[in-house]
Every structure is written in C-alpha cells, then in structure tokens.
Homo-oligomer: A and B are copies of this chain.
Amino acid sequence: MYLLDSLPNKLAADYPWVSSPLIVSAPMAKVAMPKLAVAVSKAGGLGFIAAGYHSDHLEDLLEEAEDLLQDGQADTPVESENGVPKFLPVGVGFITWSASLEKALPTFSRYFPAAVWLFAPPNGFQDLIPWTTKIREATASRTKIWVQVGSVSDAVKVVNTIDPDVIVVQGLDAGGHSLARGASIVSLVPEINDKLQQLRPYPQKRADVLAAGGISDSRGVVAAMALGAEGCVLGTRFLASPESMVAHGYQKAILDASDGGISTVRTTIYDKVRDIHGWPDGYDGRGLINRTYLDDLGGLSEVKNRELYREELNRGDAGYGPKGRLTTYAGTGVGLIREIMSAGDIVKSMREGARKILNEQRQPKL
C-alpha cells in the first residue's frame, strides 16, 4: 500500500490536480456527463465522461466540460502551456465494440482529455492497438490510455498488447457491464499486481492498477489500497449525486435498495429489452432485480418483455424499483448508499474517510 500522504509518482505526474488517494468516477454510459465528471475533477478526483456506445456528441461534451471547468476560476485545474491547454482534466470512456475511433479522434487533438478509458473490444485487445496508437499520436501522449479488465489473463494480455498507462481492474461486484464470470477485487487486484510486477519489475512497471467494483465508501477505498490498488473507481455511488444524469426514480431505487448481493443480479435481459445488441460474448450487466428480470426468469418471451419495457417508459419515475421495469444498473455496494450527495462531497468524503481510517493505525500503542 502506498503512503496515504503522497500519491504514487506516476499518477501525480500524469494527473497533477488530483489528491491522494485517487478517486475516479466511472464513464457510465448515458449517465456520466460533463457535469458529473467536472465536479469530480474539481474536487481533486478524476471524472470520466461517457462517450459510451457512440462518439457522436463527443465534441459537444468536451466543449461543455471545458466551459464548466472555467466556471469559478479558483477551482479550475485546467493547465496551460503558452495559452494552449495542456489537457482537459477529465477523461472520456468508450465502449469500443460500438464506438468509432475515427469520429472521436479529432476531438482528442483539440481538447486533450487527460485520459481515455477503453472497454470491451469486440475481438480481443489487439482491437485496441489503433485506439492507443492514434490517440497517443493525436495528443502527443497527453491523453493517457486506460483499459478496463476483469481477469488476470486479460490484464496480462492488455499490458503485452498495448502497454496502457492504467489498468482498471473491475471486480464482479461492479454495477453495469463487465465480464459475466470473475472474481471480486479481493483476489483480482493482488494477483494482477503480482503478475504485472513479474512482467515489468518495479520501478519500470508502467501500468498503474486501479480497483473498481463494490466500493461505495471510504472503507472500500482503504481496502482497495491495501490490496494494492493505486486508486479507486466508483460508479454506483455517483448515481446518487445531483450531477448524475439519471431519473429521480432511478436515484430513489438506489437509495431504497439494500443487500446488493441479493437485490442485484448479473443478466443480459436488460440489454435485450432496450434493444442493445452487440456486446461481445462473455459480458453481461449487474442491475437491481425488477420485473423485467423476474418475467424473463419466469419464461416470458423477449419480444413481450421488450413490449412491456417500452410501455413502462411512459410511467417515468414510477417505472423504477423492484416492481418496475426500467433498467437500474447498480453494483453490490448499493446498500451502502443512503443519501444523495454532491459529487464533490462524495470525492472529499471518500478521501477524508480513508485518511481517518488509516490515521487510527498511527496512534501510538497503549
């Protein structure tokens, strides 16, 4: 575990505005928009904007982020070199089986987002070679390459294939999409760390390891650090912030849920009813159990289930929750989330809570 007081050197150099321990908001498709990402970065974390399945509005999103970052000059961590922004202190996430690199590329050389998060290549990690090469070229490596993985073998493959700057290790507790089968960060993070040390003995080791999945408060942050993570990624926790682009009904379902291992499930039915096709084999998504899932379990046809889902859309906020049908992706840590909190306060409370937990260990022995 690195010293809580000081961020690992590489992270400190690459993301100079962040505080230790590094707290990251995940690029949740359709949910993580500039407002959320900027609030997280302004609080000394690193916020990701979801380009998601498409790259259509990326230019608008980054322009919005730039505007928001310039609001309130004192807080703005945009760095500049001779008047040219060195980079935008937010990241952008792509679902790479669906998003278009070619469409996205021009925005990189214009905005220089601090990081790009690549997820779910359709045919293996060699699909990420053009993404990595061209983004590094377009930004003179100002934009750092992050790749999300869910297994030890994938982590090794990624390092050997594209040498990313950061590996986001996603455990099975995570909400939304990930590998359908896997382990939690409890065993994944230390095993991946050990493997990467073998590949590139410290201090030549390149990729930083971040942990995602099930972390909802500062206890999870310290746990992830103890396991060897150099930062933490949270998704579900940020859903319960005003900066998230989710319906009130969604947020209420998050606050109401408890016992996430039981109240959520990994399934592909939530994609199917929303007509999202094309996830590579081996992926599914974790969401709160609702009637869509229960009807699927009960044998209802996909066609009928989709019809019911579409009708449910008319119910708005009332369509969420265990008796509703609207998809509510959430991780197993959902039961630890009990209040709406601003994204900035979430970041700060994680960090302060982590310091408090570890400072207790610094008391002298009685």
Docked-complex contact B190 and A172, CB < 8 angstroms = no
CB-CB under 8 A from A171, the residues of chain B are 184, 186
Docked-complex contact B365 and A5, CB < 8 angstroms = yes
Q: Give Cα A194–Cα B160 distance, bound, in whole angstroms.
A: 42
Residue A13 interfacial (CB < 8 Å): no
CB distance from A94 to the nearest CB of B (A): 24
Q: In chain B, what residue has the closest Cβ to A226? A: B222
Residue A16 interfacial (CB < 8 Å): no
Interface string of A206-227 (1 = CB under 8 A from B): 0000000111110110111111
CB distance from A363 to the nearest CB of B (A): 6
Docked-complex contact A184 and B186, CB < 8 angstroms = yes
Residue A84 interfacial (CB < 8 Å): no
Q: Give Cα A221–Cα B182 distance, bound, in whole angstroms.
A: 20
Docked-complex contact B151 and A187, CB < 8 angstroms = no
Residue A259 interfacial (CB < 8 Å): yes
Most chain B beta-carbon neighbours within 10 Å: one of A5, A185, A187: A187
Residue among B183, B222, B226 making CB contact with A332, cutoff 8 Å: B183
Docked-complex contact A361 and B186, CB < 8 angstroms = no
Q: Give Cα A225–Cα B361 distance, bound, in whole angstroms.
A: 11
Q: Give Cα A214–Cα B152 distance, bound, in whole angstroms.
A: 14
Docked-complex contact A181 and B261, CB < 8 angstroms = yes
Residue among B191, B220, B332, B365 making CB contact with A259, cutoff 8 Å: B191
CB-CB under 8 A from A188, the residues of chain B are 261, 332
Q: Give Cα A219–Cα B187 distance, bound, in whole angstroms.
A: 9
Q: Give Cα A141–Cα B126 distance, bound, in whole angstroms.
A: 62
Residue A228 interfacial (CB < 8 Å): yes
Residue A297 interfacial (CB < 8 Å): no
Once A3-B361, A265-B181, A361-B362 are accepted as A-B contacts, the answer to whether A220 and B187 lie under 8 Å apart by CB is yes
CB-CB under 8 A from A194, the residues of chain B are 336
Q: Give Cα A134–Cα B101 distance, bound, in whole angstroms.
A: 68
Question: Could you list 7 A-B pairs, sorted by A, with CB under 8 Å?
Answer: A1-B360, A6-B365, A6-B366, A183-B214, A186-B332, A226-B357, A358-B361
Beyond known contacts A191-B335, A191-B336: 18 more, CB 8 A cutoff: A1-B222, A1-B357, A1-B360, A150-B261, A152-B258, A172-B184, A181-B261, A182-B332, A183-B333, A184-B184, A186-B186, A186-B220, A187-B220, A187-B335, A190-B217, A190-B220, A220-B227, A226-B357
